[in-house]
A = this chain, B = another copy of it.
Amino acid sequence: MTVEGKLRAAIVGSTGYGGVELIRLLQGHPKVEITSVISSSSAGEPIENGFPHLTGVFHRNLDGVDAAEIKERADVVFTATPAGVSAKLAPQLLEVGLKVIDLSGDFRLKDGGEYERWYKHPAPEESYLQQAVFGLCEVFGDRAAGAEFISNPGCYPTATLLGLIPALKAGWIKPESIIVDAKSGVSGAGRGVNVGVHYAEVNENFKAYKINKHQHIPEIEQTLTEIAGEPVTVTFTTHLVPMTRGIMATMYAGMNGAYSEQDFVDLYRNYYEGRSFVRVRDAGIWPATKEVSGSNYCDIGFAADARTGRVTIISVIDNLVKGAAGQAIQNLNLMMGWEETLGLGYTPVYP
Protein backbone atom coordinates (compact mmCIF):
# COMPACT_ATOMS: atom_id res chain seq x y z
CA MET A 1 0.00 0.00 0.00
CA THR A 2 2.94 2.37 -0.19
CA VAL A 3 5.40 3.98 -2.58
CA GLU A 4 8.87 3.08 -1.36
CA GLY A 5 7.46 2.40 2.04
CA LYS A 6 5.50 5.60 2.19
CA LEU A 7 1.81 6.16 2.66
CA ARG A 8 0.23 7.43 -0.54
CA ALA A 9 -1.87 10.58 -0.12
CA ALA A 10 -4.28 12.34 -2.44
CA ILE A 11 -5.52 15.89 -1.99
CA VAL A 12 -8.92 16.94 -3.33
CA GLY A 13 -9.20 20.71 -3.64
CA SER A 14 -5.52 21.18 -4.35
CA THR A 15 -5.94 24.63 -5.82
CA GLY A 16 -7.38 26.23 -2.71
CA TYR A 17 -5.25 27.62 0.08
CA GLY A 18 -5.85 24.62 2.34
CA GLY A 19 -4.86 22.22 -0.42
CA VAL A 20 -1.72 24.04 -1.44
CA GLU A 21 -0.65 24.31 2.19
CA LEU A 22 -1.06 20.54 2.51
CA ILE A 23 1.35 20.21 -0.40
CA ARG A 24 3.89 22.53 1.26
CA LEU A 25 3.75 20.73 4.58
CA LEU A 26 3.69 17.19 3.21
CA GLN A 27 6.86 17.89 1.23
CA GLY A 28 8.62 17.56 4.56
CA HIS A 29 6.81 14.48 5.87
CA PRO A 30 9.09 11.42 6.04
CA LYS A 31 6.32 8.84 5.77
CA VAL A 32 3.94 10.34 3.22
CA GLU A 33 4.11 10.73 -0.54
CA ILE A 34 1.58 12.83 -2.43
CA THR A 35 0.48 10.69 -5.33
CA SER A 36 -2.45 12.69 -6.64
CA VAL A 37 -3.56 16.31 -6.55
CA ILE A 38 -7.13 16.75 -7.58
CA SER A 39 -9.17 19.70 -8.74
CA SER A 40 -12.55 19.55 -10.39
CA SER A 41 -12.02 22.91 -12.09
CA SER A 42 -8.47 22.61 -13.45
CA ALA A 43 -7.97 18.91 -14.15
CA GLY A 44 -5.21 18.23 -16.65
CA GLU A 45 -3.16 21.34 -15.91
CA PRO A 46 0.16 21.28 -14.07
CA ILE A 47 -0.38 22.60 -10.58
CA GLU A 48 2.57 24.99 -10.98
CA ASN A 49 0.57 27.00 -13.52
CA GLY A 50 -1.61 28.39 -10.79
CA PHE A 51 1.00 28.15 -8.05
CA PRO A 52 4.39 28.98 -9.54
CA HIS A 53 6.02 28.88 -6.11
CA LEU A 54 5.89 25.07 -6.55
CA THR A 55 8.07 25.19 -9.68
CA GLY A 56 10.82 22.65 -9.30
CA VAL A 57 9.47 21.66 -5.89
CA PHE A 58 6.42 19.63 -6.71
CA HIS A 59 5.28 18.72 -10.19
CA ARG A 60 2.08 16.92 -11.03
CA ASN A 61 -0.82 17.47 -13.38
CA LEU A 62 -4.12 17.93 -11.60
CA ASP A 63 -6.40 14.90 -11.67
CA GLY A 64 -10.20 14.88 -11.86
CA VAL A 65 -12.46 13.76 -9.02
CA ASP A 66 -13.22 10.04 -9.28
CA ALA A 67 -13.32 7.84 -6.18
CA ALA A 68 -12.29 4.66 -7.96
CA GLU A 69 -9.33 6.31 -9.66
CA ILE A 70 -8.24 7.89 -6.42
CA LYS A 71 -8.35 4.49 -4.78
CA GLU A 72 -5.92 3.26 -7.42
CA ARG A 73 -3.44 5.92 -6.55
CA ALA A 74 -3.82 6.60 -2.85
CA ASP A 75 -4.33 5.19 0.64
CA VAL A 76 -5.58 8.34 2.32
CA VAL A 77 -7.40 11.38 0.96
CA PHE A 78 -7.48 14.90 2.30
CA THR A 79 -10.66 16.64 1.16
CA ALA A 80 -10.06 20.38 1.21
CA THR A 81 -13.32 21.08 -0.53
CA PRO A 82 -16.09 23.63 0.12
CA ALA A 83 -18.95 22.83 2.49
CA GLY A 84 -21.59 20.87 0.61
CA VAL A 85 -19.08 19.13 -1.67
CA SER A 86 -17.47 16.97 0.99
CA ALA A 87 -20.92 15.91 2.18
CA LYS A 88 -21.28 13.85 -0.99
CA LEU A 89 -17.68 13.06 -1.79
CA ALA A 90 -16.40 11.76 1.54
CA PRO A 91 -18.89 8.85 1.70
CA GLN A 92 -17.87 7.77 -1.82
CA LEU A 93 -14.22 7.81 -0.85
CA LEU A 94 -14.90 5.85 2.32
CA GLU A 95 -16.97 3.32 0.37
CA VAL A 96 -14.06 2.43 -1.90
CA GLY A 97 -11.91 1.85 1.15
CA LEU A 98 -9.93 5.05 1.46
CA LYS A 99 -9.10 6.73 4.72
CA VAL A 100 -10.47 10.25 4.69
CA ILE A 101 -9.52 13.43 6.49
CA ASP A 102 -12.06 16.10 5.66
CA LEU A 103 -11.12 19.74 6.08
CA SER A 104 -14.60 21.10 5.33
CA GLY A 105 -17.32 21.79 7.89
CA ASP A 106 -19.60 19.05 6.60
CA PHE A 107 -18.93 16.38 9.21
CA ARG A 108 -18.13 18.38 12.31
CA LEU A 109 -21.65 18.48 13.76
CA LYS A 110 -23.25 15.33 15.08
CA ASP A 111 -26.74 16.76 14.71
CA GLY A 112 -27.80 16.99 11.06
CA GLY A 113 -30.56 19.45 11.85
CA GLU A 114 -28.09 21.77 13.49
CA TYR A 115 -25.91 21.47 10.35
CA GLU A 116 -28.77 22.48 8.11
CA ARG A 117 -29.69 25.49 10.27
CA TRP A 118 -26.17 26.93 10.13
CA TYR A 119 -24.89 25.76 6.73
CA LYS A 120 -28.10 26.04 4.69
CA HIS A 121 -27.21 22.80 2.87
CA PRO A 122 -28.79 19.35 3.22
CA ALA A 123 -26.88 17.45 5.92
CA PRO A 124 -24.71 14.45 5.03
CA GLU A 125 -26.10 11.01 5.76
CA GLU A 126 -26.51 10.36 9.50
CA SER A 127 -24.19 7.34 9.68
CA TYR A 128 -21.28 9.33 8.34
CA LEU A 129 -21.93 12.17 10.77
CA GLN A 130 -21.66 9.64 13.58
CA GLN A 131 -18.63 7.88 12.11
CA ALA A 132 -16.59 11.04 11.68
CA VAL A 133 -14.13 11.71 14.51
CA PHE A 134 -13.90 15.40 15.39
CA GLY A 135 -10.14 15.72 15.21
CA LEU A 136 -9.21 18.32 17.78
CA CYS A 137 -5.94 16.55 18.41
CA GLU A 138 -4.91 17.77 21.84
CA VAL A 139 -8.37 17.02 23.27
CA PHE A 140 -9.72 14.06 21.35
CA GLY A 141 -6.49 12.60 20.02
CA ASP A 142 -7.25 9.17 21.41
CA ARG A 143 -10.38 8.94 19.25
CA ALA A 144 -8.29 9.52 16.12
CA ALA A 145 -6.09 6.48 16.64
CA GLY A 146 -7.09 3.89 14.09
CA ALA A 147 -9.99 5.92 12.75
CA GLU A 148 -10.90 5.72 9.07
CA PHE A 149 -12.64 9.07 8.87
CA ILE A 150 -11.64 12.26 10.59
CA SER A 151 -13.36 15.62 10.41
CA ASN A 152 -10.73 18.29 10.86
CA PRO A 153 -11.88 21.16 13.09
CA GLY A 154 -12.37 24.65 11.71
CA CYS A 155 -9.81 27.39 12.18
CA TYR A 156 -11.84 29.51 14.60
CA PRO A 157 -12.96 26.48 16.65
CA THR A 158 -9.37 25.21 16.97
CA ALA A 159 -8.11 28.49 18.43
CA THR A 160 -11.21 28.91 20.58
CA LEU A 161 -11.56 25.41 21.95
CA LEU A 162 -7.89 24.96 22.80
CA GLY A 163 -8.14 28.25 24.67
CA LEU A 164 -11.29 27.42 26.63
CA ILE A 165 -11.39 23.70 27.33
CA PRO A 166 -8.93 23.33 30.24
CA ALA A 167 -10.58 26.14 32.22
CA LEU A 168 -14.08 24.96 31.41
CA LYS A 169 -13.27 21.35 32.24
CA ALA A 170 -11.78 22.44 35.56
CA GLY A 171 -14.91 24.41 36.37
CA TRP A 172 -12.96 27.65 36.69
CA ILE A 173 -15.13 29.63 34.30
CA LYS A 174 -18.88 30.13 34.07
CA PRO A 175 -20.22 28.40 30.94
CA GLU A 176 -22.98 30.95 30.39
CA SER A 177 -20.55 33.87 30.43
CA ILE A 178 -18.34 32.98 27.49
CA ILE A 179 -17.73 35.64 24.84
CA VAL A 180 -15.35 35.05 21.95
CA ASP A 181 -13.99 37.99 19.97
CA ALA A 182 -12.16 36.37 17.06
CA LYS A 183 -9.99 37.90 14.34
CA SER A 184 -8.72 36.28 11.17
CA GLY A 185 -6.38 37.03 8.28
CA VAL A 186 -7.84 36.98 4.77
CA SER A 187 -6.60 33.58 3.65
CA GLY A 188 -9.28 32.11 5.90
CA ALA A 189 -11.84 33.24 3.35
CA GLY A 190 -10.29 31.00 0.71
CA ARG A 191 -9.02 31.83 -2.75
CA GLY A 192 -12.39 32.54 -4.33
CA VAL A 193 -12.76 36.10 -5.57
CA ASN A 194 -15.28 38.72 -4.55
CA VAL A 195 -15.07 42.39 -3.73
CA GLY A 196 -14.74 41.55 -0.04
CA VAL A 197 -11.24 40.13 -0.55
CA HIS A 198 -10.09 42.79 -3.05
CA TYR A 199 -6.79 44.16 -1.78
CA ALA A 200 -7.97 47.77 -1.94
CA GLU A 201 -11.01 46.94 0.19
CA VAL A 202 -9.16 44.93 2.86
CA ASN A 203 -5.93 46.88 3.20
CA GLU A 204 -6.02 49.57 5.90
CA ASN A 205 -9.39 48.24 6.97
CA PHE A 206 -10.69 46.30 9.94
CA LYS A 207 -14.20 44.93 9.80
CA ALA A 208 -16.61 42.66 11.65
CA TYR A 209 -18.71 40.11 9.82
CA LYS A 210 -21.32 37.41 10.48
CA ILE A 211 -21.72 38.47 14.12
CA ASN A 212 -23.34 35.57 16.01
CA LYS A 213 -24.02 33.96 12.63
CA HIS A 214 -20.74 32.25 11.74
CA GLN A 215 -21.10 28.56 10.83
CA HIS A 216 -18.25 27.71 13.19
CA ILE A 217 -20.40 28.58 16.21
CA PRO A 218 -22.32 25.26 16.53
CA GLU A 219 -19.05 23.32 16.32
CA ILE A 220 -17.70 25.33 19.23
CA GLU A 221 -20.90 24.98 21.23
CA GLN A 222 -21.19 21.23 20.56
CA THR A 223 -17.71 20.65 21.95
CA LEU A 224 -18.00 23.01 24.91
CA THR A 225 -21.30 21.39 25.78
CA GLU A 226 -19.66 17.98 25.79
CA ILE A 227 -16.83 19.23 27.99
CA ALA A 228 -19.06 21.14 30.41
CA GLY A 229 -21.73 18.47 30.59
CA GLU A 230 -24.40 21.13 30.17
CA PRO A 231 -25.56 23.25 27.23
CA VAL A 232 -23.14 26.06 26.42
CA THR A 233 -24.06 28.98 24.20
CA VAL A 234 -21.44 31.53 23.19
CA THR A 235 -21.43 35.08 21.92
CA PHE A 236 -19.13 34.98 18.93
CA THR A 237 -17.82 37.78 16.72
CA THR A 238 -15.55 37.36 13.73
CA HIS A 239 -13.41 40.14 12.29
CA LEU A 240 -11.27 40.42 9.17
CA VAL A 241 -7.71 41.66 9.78
CA PRO A 242 -5.62 43.18 6.97
CA MET A 243 -3.11 40.35 6.93
CA THR A 244 -2.86 37.05 5.09
CA ARG A 245 -2.37 34.44 7.82
CA GLY A 246 -3.25 34.20 11.47
CA ILE A 247 -6.15 33.93 13.86
CA MET A 248 -6.48 35.36 17.33
CA ALA A 249 -9.36 34.45 19.59
CA THR A 250 -9.73 36.85 22.52
CA MET A 251 -12.01 35.10 24.99
CA TYR A 252 -13.80 36.46 28.03
CA ALA A 253 -15.40 34.54 30.86
CA GLY A 254 -16.47 35.09 34.43
CA MET A 255 -14.35 33.13 36.91
CA ASN A 256 -15.70 30.84 39.60
CA GLY A 257 -12.99 31.89 42.01
CA ALA A 258 -10.04 34.20 42.54
CA TYR A 259 -7.65 32.54 40.13
CA SER A 260 -4.41 34.23 39.20
CA GLU A 261 -2.70 34.23 35.85
CA GLN A 262 -0.15 31.81 37.21
CA ASP A 263 -2.97 29.48 38.24
CA PHE A 264 -4.18 29.42 34.67
CA VAL A 265 -0.68 28.88 33.32
CA ASP A 266 -0.23 25.92 35.63
CA LEU A 267 -3.64 24.47 34.83
CA TYR A 268 -3.11 24.69 31.10
CA ARG A 269 0.46 23.40 31.17
CA ASN A 270 -0.76 20.45 33.11
CA TYR A 271 -3.65 19.83 30.74
CA TYR A 272 -1.46 20.05 27.64
CA GLU A 273 1.50 18.19 29.08
CA GLY A 274 3.23 16.19 26.40
CA ARG A 275 1.40 17.95 23.56
CA SER A 276 4.14 19.99 22.00
CA PHE A 277 1.99 22.05 19.64
CA VAL A 278 0.31 23.98 22.44
CA ARG A 279 2.63 26.51 24.01
CA VAL A 280 1.26 28.06 27.18
CA ARG A 281 3.02 31.35 27.74
CA ASP A 282 4.36 32.60 31.03
CA ALA A 283 2.00 34.66 33.16
CA GLY A 284 1.60 38.17 31.80
CA ILE A 285 2.83 37.29 28.30
CA TRP A 286 0.29 37.18 25.47
CA PRO A 287 1.09 35.63 22.14
CA ALA A 288 0.85 37.44 18.79
CA THR A 289 -0.17 35.77 15.54
CA LYS A 290 3.20 36.23 13.85
CA GLU A 291 4.81 34.11 16.55
CA VAL A 292 3.10 31.00 15.15
CA SER A 293 3.10 31.92 11.46
CA GLY A 294 3.86 29.02 9.14
CA SER A 295 3.89 26.55 12.07
CA ASN A 296 1.48 24.15 13.76
CA TYR A 297 1.61 25.86 17.15
CA CYS A 298 -1.29 27.18 19.17
CA ASP A 299 -0.03 29.70 21.71
CA ILE A 300 -2.11 30.72 24.71
CA GLY A 301 -1.86 33.51 27.29
CA PHE A 302 -4.00 34.87 30.13
CA ALA A 303 -5.07 38.02 31.91
CA ALA A 304 -7.02 37.46 35.10
CA ASP A 305 -8.74 40.55 36.42
CA ALA A 306 -9.63 40.74 40.10
CA ARG A 307 -11.52 44.02 39.52
CA THR A 308 -14.16 42.38 37.33
CA GLY A 309 -13.78 38.72 38.23
CA ARG A 310 -13.18 37.87 34.58
CA VAL A 311 -10.38 36.12 32.80
CA THR A 312 -9.26 37.12 29.31
CA ILE A 313 -7.71 34.29 27.33
CA ILE A 314 -5.68 34.89 24.16
CA SER A 315 -5.19 32.03 21.73
CA VAL A 316 -3.38 32.29 18.38
CA ILE A 317 -2.80 29.93 15.47
CA ASP A 318 -1.82 30.07 11.82
CA ASN A 319 -5.23 29.46 10.26
CA LEU A 320 -3.76 27.51 7.34
CA VAL A 321 -1.57 25.27 9.51
CA LYS A 322 -2.99 24.46 12.95
CA GLY A 323 -6.32 25.77 11.64
CA ALA A 324 -6.33 23.52 8.56
CA ALA A 325 -3.53 21.64 6.80
CA GLY A 326 -1.20 21.20 9.77
CA GLN A 327 -3.83 19.80 12.10
CA ALA A 328 -5.03 17.54 9.27
CA ILE A 329 -1.54 16.05 9.05
CA GLN A 330 -1.39 15.82 12.84
CA ASN A 331 -4.64 13.85 12.60
CA LEU A 332 -3.11 11.60 9.97
CA ASN A 333 -0.21 10.95 12.31
CA LEU A 334 -2.58 10.03 15.14
CA MET A 335 -4.73 7.92 12.83
CA MET A 336 -1.66 5.97 11.74
CA GLY A 337 -0.23 5.61 15.21
CA TRP A 338 2.79 7.77 14.38
CA GLU A 339 4.28 10.52 16.55
CA GLU A 340 1.84 13.41 16.27
CA THR A 341 4.68 15.83 15.46
CA LEU A 342 5.97 13.83 12.49
CA GLY A 343 6.70 16.09 9.54
CA LEU A 344 5.35 19.12 11.37
CA GLY A 345 8.50 20.50 12.95
CA TYR A 346 8.22 23.86 11.25
CA THR A 347 9.75 26.75 13.16
CA PRO A 348 7.53 29.83 12.87
CA VAL A 349 8.67 32.22 10.15
CA TYR A 350 9.66 35.46 11.86
CA PRO A 351 9.55 38.20 10.86
Contacts and interface: CB of A to CB of B under 8 A. Distances in A.
A244 B200 contact: yes
A204 B279 contact: no
A285 to B, nearest CB: 7
B243 A205 contact: yes
A189 to B, nearest CB: 8
Interface string A267-308: 000000000100101000111111111110101010101011
A194 interface: yes
A211 interface: yes
A239 B350 CA distance: 19
Interface stretch (A20-28, A70-78, A96-104, A144-152): A20-28
Contacts of A27: 345, 347
B350 A53 contact: yes
B211 A312 contact: yes
B235 A312 contact: yes
Nearest to A205: B290
A17 B203 CA distance: 15
Interface residues of A, number: 84
A202 interface: yes
B195 A290 contact: no
Interface stretch (A81-89, A123-131, A178-186): A178-186
Nearest to A246: B206
A198 B191 contact: yes
Given A206-B289, A208-B286, A289-B206, A179 B350 contact: no
A195 B193 contact: yes
Contact of A58 (B54, B209, B252, B347): B347
A25 to B, nearest CB: 8
Contact of A55 (B52, B195, B279): B279
Given A208-B314, A308-B234, A239 B243 contact: no
A199 B286 contact: no
Given A24-B350, A193-B198, A183 B204 contact: no
B294 A204 contact: no
5 contacts: A52-B287, A53-B347, A203-B203, A206-B241, A235-B305
The 7 closest A-B pairs by CB, nearest first: A207-B288, A205-B290, A211-B303, A53-B348, A200-B351, A181-B181, A53-B291
